[in-house]
Amino acid sequence: MSYFTIFSTMRSEVSLLTIILFLLVYDLIAGKKGESYFQPVAILLFTLHTIFNLFPAEAGEAFGGMVQYHPVMTIIKTILNVGTLIIFLQSKYIFDGNRMKHQRGEYYFLTLSTLLGMYLMISSGHFLLFFIGLEMASIPLGTLVAFNKKSKMSAEAGAKFILLSAFSSGILLFGISYLYGVTGSLYFSDVSVLLSNNPLQIMAFLFFLSGLFFKVSFVPFHLWTADVYEGAPTNVTSYLSVVSKSSAAFVLMILLFKLFGNYLYEWQTLLFWIIIVTITVGNLFALRQQNVKRFLAFSSISQAGYIALGIISGSTLGMTTVIYYIFVYLFSNLAAFGVITAIESRTRKINISDYKGLYHTNPKLSFVMMLAMFSLAGIAPFAGFMSKFFIFSAAAQQGYYLLVIIAVVNTIVSLYYYLMVVKAMFIDQNDHPVPALRTDAWNRASLVICTAAIIFVGLLGFLLDVIEKQSFGM
Amino acid sequence: MNFLSLFVLLPLLMILALFLARNRKQVLGIMVTGSTLLVVLSAYLAYLYTAARGNGATDPMLFTASLSWFKPLNIRYAVGVDGVSVVMLCLTSLIVFTGTFVSWKMAPLTKEFFLWYCLLATGVFGFFITIDLFAMFLFYETALIPMYLLIGVWGTGRKEYSAMKLTLMLMGSSMILLVGILGIYFSSGATSMNILDIVRTPIPLEQQYLFFTLTFFGFGVLGALFPFHSWSPDGHASAPTAVSMLHAGVLMKLGGYGCFRVAISLMPEAAAQLSPLFLVLTAIGVVYGAFAAIRQTDLKYINAYSSVSHCNLVLFAILMLTQTALTGAVLQMLSHGLITALFFALIGMIYGRTHTRLITEMGGLMKIMPFLGVSFVIAGLANIGVPGLSGFVAEMTIFVGAFENNGLLHRILTIAAVTSIVIGAVYILRTIGKFLYGPLQNPEHTKLGDARWYERLAVIMLIAGIVYLGSFPTGISDMINDSFGNLLQAVKN
């Protein structure tokens, strides 16, 4: 095995690590002046990294199967990169008000560390590497959630996140240990063949899965979501709800397809019920929320249920549509978070009722927010419509019509609460609306990118084709 | 690039231009130019289509073109028209055109209003030109959502409630439709979502039962299928004038058109077997709508319930599955589209002057605004089905066609439905008598003026359409007639 093979299979990890180290050193040597350039530097480097890893390499493995690379992973990682990049664009105000100025370095460093952890989870071929990736993706995230030192809410959310995440990791590790006990190996390639209908193995499998479900926040593993989302700084919330959640969904999908093929029946049955409760509970709780961040937390729970509709199909089309769905979800959700950041950073207002009459003072921001809501609700002709249609087709193709019907009924419920936000902005009257404001250039750029994506991604048919070429089914 | 795509491209360009428009004048300029071009385009299409059929073109769809869109699901952007879609396109462009003039004084947020209006038009046009299930559904949904903001922002009365009710009910039914569409595609095993392909690969009968019900229901709700019509009176009553026109005039026809084009054309066997169930519902709807209209005092509600009755008649005729009835159904879509648009336009104009729509608070308006009054009478007569106006042609064809179907249930239901004509006369004549004639109720009303030029233009164009369709229906009905050959063959087998 030459260094070249290692490099080609782990290209993205290596280049990301380089950036992390560079930023760490930059943080040390940059003076007061250099610090203010932190955001541009991080964005620039990360853009280069994204472009550098845009094109898939040959499938292969490194370190004796510890790392297994498949071209579809490049697409997945690119999606995560794009998400992170947009969040970096929106992150200017996380340091506002002199509270956290000196923490700039940590923010980028920690975020990228979690991203590296997700990379490792995605391309791992061994349970140990997988677990290292998982922990790397969780622990720094806990720090990020508690990033705002002066805020009690943030600290509370951080504690909640760390405790529950450690608990779920423990359960997952417990599952891994049993899997090791019954199969005698930790390599995915060995385990996938050795799995049988032995109850002990199935129990180990379930323990393992529940650890992952926690990350994707399927119901009933969702209870941490709303509190953590509400307490965390807004940019971290968007990172949690977009990048962290989608990486977990990707990992879940890849593992189920690649590793647990023998348990197809078991996990399909399990997912069937999980999907129903996830979508329904997520929607019902979202109906009553007043705080925009909590609202998006519950909406993202039900979105996870829709994502799982593609996973349950177990087909190539399923994988294609899941990737496409998340790609669209990323832009829609980040557009919403961009607007929330803009408004929160200036006015500290984060209730839906504060958005009343927003159109009269901030037409552009409300327009973006409206597109985001429409796209999340799956309204034509925006990208969210296409992605929902495709994910339903993936499930319908495998004959899950009942599930699709339950999902579409839920779409109506979700339409109601998404429309409530639109109603607040466009229809409701308000004597004291949010004053006209201009957000910073980076955030504006991020909103332009998201808006363009919401409008045009659905019309560009070749994207789905590109994804399908690399996807695999069971 | 097929020239049919212009029907979608033009409204999209209008949206783009509206974005850049600086003031009211520019907005109106864009709207007038764009909608005039659309009228010209649809007239040209009608001409081309008749010429092509005259030269012996026998394909089910003419001017077809198809572009690969989403390969993994075999989705193509496929367009094509037959007689039914051509006449519907003409109707749409006419109503978009007149709707622009009716909203001449629209305020506030004129630009935004027309933006949504154009998006609505894009959806409707797109739906009529495409023949790919996905593309059809995409445009169908595109036409639905602008209604929420159009009613919610610019509406009157209980607008928030109505807007939400309408959106949720229509979106809900369209979601059911989505399942139906997926079912059709996957159980037919066709190689693309193009309906011309799906027709060639028959769907197994057991699947047809489920998916016919889902699709017919999905489209039917937009066609005010009883008892799922309740969004329609509230929605129409709250919507601004041009939106009521476009919605009752065209958008509700999407339901009937979709039932015909997708549910019945693709699954004729199930349609033949399940039609009694839906026939009963639609027949109830026909009679119920007419009765409900009698009880109303708000002009918009009267017309909205009358629309429910007439739209159920469209579905009723489609389900009869005879050539004459189907032709009648399309004629009724056209006729009702024109009449109801005229009604809503006139009601909007009257409301704009008197600031009330309750017939109990108005009277003797005929003397004050003779133009509007006479036009209203014409619309009313057309609605009742007086010969020479479009309502007569359409309803006559429908009932003759319905009677051709010699099942006992079909006969009984037909007779029941015919009564709606009589009931229709009751509410129309009563309304006209109350608020156009009779003593003056409010002395303030004497100060009101008659229609302005832009209002007259819109009204005259709609009346011209009604008279043309009523007096010279042969050309149009021949055009429609040609489009049913294959379908009826399939029903007979």
Report the C-alpha gap between B153 and B110 in whole angstroms: 11
Q: What's the pLDDT score for residue A437?
A: 85
Contact between B405 and B365 under an 8 Å Cβ cutoff? The reply is no
Question: pLDDT tens digits, residue range B256-281?
Answer: 899 888 888 888 888 888 888 889 99
Contact between B482 and B263 under an 8 Å Cβ cutoff? The reply is no
How far CA B38 is from CA of B41, B295, B367, in Å, comes to 5, 39, 36
Q: Do A385 and B75 touch (CB under 8 A)?
A: no
Report the C-alpha gap between B66 and A270 in whole angstroms: 41
**To probe the interface with A, which of B162, B168, B173, B182 has the most A CB atoms within 10 Å?**
B182
Using CB atoms, pick whichever of A380, A390, A427 lies closest to residue B141. Answer: A380
ipTM of the predicted structure?
0.90
Task: For A351, list phi and psi in degrees, rounded to 5.
Answer: -105, 150
| Ranges of chain A with pLDDT below 50 | 98
Amino acid identity at B342: L
Report the C-alpha gap between B213 and B259 in whole angstroms: 10
Q: Do A408 and B179 touch (CB under 8 A)?
A: yes
- Chain B: residue nearest A360 by CA? B109
Domain total for chain B? Answer: 1
Contacts with A, B 210-229, CB within 8 Å? 210
Point out which residues pair with A291 in neighbouring strands.
Answer: A351
How far CA A97 is from CA of A53, A102, A233, A346, B134, in Å, comes to 36, 11, 14, 11, 50
Q: Does B156 touch chain A (CB under 8 A)?
A: no
Average pLDDT on B163-181 reads 90
Q: What's the pLDDT score for residue B112?
A: 86
pTM of the model: 0.93
- Chain B: residue nearest A318 by CA? B72
Q: What's the pLDDT score for residue A371?
A: 93
Q: At B64, is the secondary structure helix, strand, or coil?
A: strand
For tokens 């506030």, the residue is: B108
Residue B487 pLDDT > 70, yes or no?
no
- Chain B: residue nearest A393 by CA? B182
User: Exposed/middle/buried for B191, CB within 10 Å: 0-12, 13-18, 19+?
Assistant: exposed
Q: What's the pLDDT score for residue A211?
A: 87
Q: Do B178 and A392 touch (CB under 8 A)?
A: yes
Q: What angle do CA B164, B169, B170 make, to 5 degrees?
A: 100
User: Exposed/middle/buried for B9, CB within 10 Å: 0-12, 13-18, 19+?
Assistant: middle
Full domain range(s) for residue B248: 3-492
Average pLDDT on B319-335 reads 88
**To probe the interface with B, which of A321, A423, A454 has the most B CB atoms within 10 Å?**
A423
Q: Alpha helix (H) ranges present in B145-251?
A: 146-154, 159-188, 195-200, 205-222, 231-238, 241-246
Residues in chain B with CB shorter than 8 Å from the CB of A396 are 179, 182-183, 186
Best CA proximity match to A274, nearest among A300, A232, A306: A306
Contact between B184 and B267 under an 8 Å Cβ cutoff? The reply is yes
User: Count of CB atoms within 10 A of residue A25's CB?
Assistant: 11
Q: Does A327 touch chain B (CB under 8 A)?
A: no
Amino acid identity at B56: G
Contact between B201 and B252 under an 8 Å Cβ cutoff? The reply is no
Q: What's the pLDDT score for residue B243?
A: 87
Angle of helix B159-188 relative to helix B133-144, nearest 10 degrees, comes to: 180
Token couple for B380: 């009313």
Report the C-alpha gap between B170 and B219 in whole angstroms: 9
Q: Do A461 and B68 touch (CB under 8 A)?
A: yes
Q: Do A396 and B172 touch (CB under 8 A)?
A: no
Report the C-alpha gap between A445 and B218 in whole angstroms: 40
Strands B62-70 and A60-62: unpaired
Q: Alpha helix (H) ranges present in A259-382?
A: 264-287, 292-313, 316-347, 358-361, 363-377
Share of chain B above pLDDT 70, in %: 98
- The H or E element containing residue B78 is strand B75-81
Using CB atoms, pick whichever of B73, B167, B172 lies closest to residue A393. Answer: B73
Q: At A474, is the secondary structure helix, strand, or coil?
A: coil
Residue B400 pLDDT > 80, yes or no?
yes
Amino acid identity at A468: E
User: Count of CB atoms within 10 A of residue B439's CB?
Assistant: 6
